[in-house]
């Protein structure tokens, strides 16, 4: 690889919608790894919360609502939601960009994953907020 | 670029061009194309790992979206929650959750292996390409990482099956 090629590649950034450059692919990959590793820890806590009592009992409505009313657990659920949404939809983006490499396809995939990511985070956050304010019994 | 095999009679430009075209057609028939790329057998366990990582990733993303939708039934009250929960309280539902456990375990362990690999760990030292041209990057460290991912996924699935089917 020549130095000019290297310079061109190092300046190559993901162009999300138009010609505005937001992040380099190397930065997105690092975000992918960080969200993946972080999700591992928070999901482990989420699963352990289901196993501290008999599994079926832990899924009873009152128990689940009590979990949501705990502000720390609610924040944990929100972090799971955000981390997995970013990791999952970026993973989908990578797979779709491996299939085809045209500018239109790349832009369409980028828009699709960002909209889906925002949509799922908004929908999950709505559940957490409403369940957090739910009154039991 | 044109590629051909065999001897070509250059005395006639037309016949030579025709033979090149025929040879190119034959070459195309020999190419595996996207089917070869998809084939998990001929490229070894590394290709199996590649496919499993992507398939489990897509499967887990679908589950994640379904799980967010499923838990949203909480806001509609206890009856809606119980109705939604009944879907997972069947044998089919349990088997699906066991698959989720296996997929998430494999995706996690293999993902950690890939992070190490892409940061240059466990790839071996680069060397002169000698016959039979085995790449140093496809070594026992990589393969054992892959096998650990498969074994831990199986163990997690067994544990999950025990919890789900015993109800404890």
pLDDT digits (tens, 9 = 90+) for A13-67: 555 555 566 788 889 999 999 999 999 999 999 988 887 777 777 888 888 888 8
Q: pLDDT tens digits for B129-168?
A: 788 777 777 788 888 888 999 999 999 999 999 888 886 5
Q: What is the pLDDT of residue B151?
A: 95
Of the options 3.90.1200.10, 1.10.10.10, 3.30.310.50, 1.20.1300.10, the CATH number for the domain spanning B45-121+133-166: 1.20.1300.10
Q: What is the mean pLDDT of residues A69-73?
A: 90
Angle between helices B45-71 and B78-88 (to 10 degrees): 160
The model's confidence at residue B10, banded by pLDDT at 50, 70 and 90, is: very low
Q: What is the pLDDT of residue B150?
A: 93
Q: What is the pLDDT of residue B60?
A: 97
- B25/B69: higher pLDDT: B69
- Set of chain A residues whose Cβ sits within 8 Å of the Cβ of B111: 36
CA distance B58 to chain A (A): 7
Structure tokens at B162: 């025990």
Say whether pLDDT at B3 is over 90: no
Q: What is the mean pLDDT of residues B12-35?
A: 61
The model's confidence at residue A72, banded by pLDDT at 50, 70 and 90, is: very high
Tally C-beta pairs within 8 A across A and B. Answer: 64
Q: pLDDT tens digits for B73-127?
A: 988 888 999 888 888 888 999 999 999 999 999 999 999 999 998 888 888 787 7
Q: What is the mean pLDDT of residues B31-36?
A: 68
- Set of chain A residues whose Cβ sits within 8 Å of the Cβ of B61: 88-89, 91-92
Closest by Cβ to A120, choosing from B58, B65, B115? B65
CA distance B51 to chain A (A): 11
* Rounded-to-integer distance, Cα B69 and Cα A109, Å: 23
Interface membership of A32 toward B (CB under 8 Å): no
- Domains of chain B, residue spans: 10-39, 45-121+133-166
* Rounded-to-integer distance, Cα B2 and Cα B140, Å: 40
Closest by Cβ to B74, choosing from A36, A64, A92? A64
Q: What is the pLDDT of residue B157?
A: 95
The model's confidence at residue B26, banded by pLDDT at 50, 70 and 90, is: low
CATH of region A23-132: 1.20.1300
CA distance A63 to chain B (A): 11
Interface membership of A123 toward B (CB under 8 Å): yes
- Set of chain B residues whose Cβ sits within 8 Å of the Cβ of A130: 74-75
The model's confidence at residue B1, banded by pLDDT at 50, 70 and 90, is: very low
Contact (CB, 8 A) for A70 and A134: no
Interface membership of A76 toward B (CB under 8 Å): no
Say whether pLDDT at B6 is over 50: no
Interface membership of A17 toward B (CB under 8 Å): no
Say whether pLDDT at B29 is over 80: no
Percent of chain B surpassing pLDDT 90: 35
Q: Is B14 helix (H, G, I), strand (E, B) or coil?
A: helix
The model's confidence at residue B15, banded by pLDDT at 50, 70 and 90, is: low
- Domains of chain A, residue spans: 23-132
* Rounded-to-integer distance, Cα B118 and Cα B106, Å: 18
Chain B residue set in contact with A, beta carbons under 8 Å: 54, 57-58, 60-61, 64-65, 68-69, 71-72, 74-75, 78, 81-82, 85, 104, 108, 111-112, 115, 118, 163-164, 167-168
Closest by Cβ to A88, choosing from B61, B71, B112? B61
The model's confidence at residue B44, banded by pLDDT at 50, 70 and 90, is: confident
- Of A8-12, B46-50, B74-78, B116-120, which range is least confident? A8-12
């Amino acid at each position: 690889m020549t130095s000019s090629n290297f310079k061109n590649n190092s300046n190559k950034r993901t162009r999300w919608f138009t010609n505005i450059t937001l992040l380099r692919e190397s930065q997105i990959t690092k975000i992918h790894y960080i969200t993946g590793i972080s999700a591992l820890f928070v999901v482990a806590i989420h699963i352990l919360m289901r196993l501290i009592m008999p599994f079926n009992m832990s899924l009873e409505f009152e128990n689940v609502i009590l979990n949501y009313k705990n502000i720390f657990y609610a924040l944990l659920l929100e972090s799971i939601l955000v981390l997995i949404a970013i990791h999952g939809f970026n993973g989908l983006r990578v797979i779709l960009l491996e299939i085809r490499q045209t500018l239109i396809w790349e832009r369409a995939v980028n828009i699709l994953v960002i909209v889906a990511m925002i949509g799922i985070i908004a929908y999950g956050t709505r559940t957490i907020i409403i369940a957090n304010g739910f009154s039991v019994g | 670029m044109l590629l051909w095999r065999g001897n070509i009679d250059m005395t006639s430009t037309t016949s030579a061009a025709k033979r090149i075209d025929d040879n190119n057609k034959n070459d195309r028939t020999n190419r595996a194309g996207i089917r070869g790329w998809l084939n998990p057998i001929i490229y070894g366990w590394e290709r199996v790992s590649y496919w499993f990582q992507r398939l489990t990733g897509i499967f887990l993303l679908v589950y994640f979206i379904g799980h967010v939708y499923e838990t949203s039934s909480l806001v509609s009250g206890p009856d809606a929650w119980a109705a939604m929960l009944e879907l997972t309280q069947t044998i089919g539902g349990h088997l699906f959750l066991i698959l989720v456990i296996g997929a998430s375990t494999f995706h996690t362990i293999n993902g950690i292996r890939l992070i190490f690999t892409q940061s240059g760990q466990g790839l071996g030292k680069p060397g002169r390409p000698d016959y039979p041209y085995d790449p140093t990057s496809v070594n026992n460290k990589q393969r054992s990482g892959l096998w650990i991912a498969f074994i831990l996924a199986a163990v997690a699935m067994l544990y999950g099956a025990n919890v789900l089917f015993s109800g404890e």
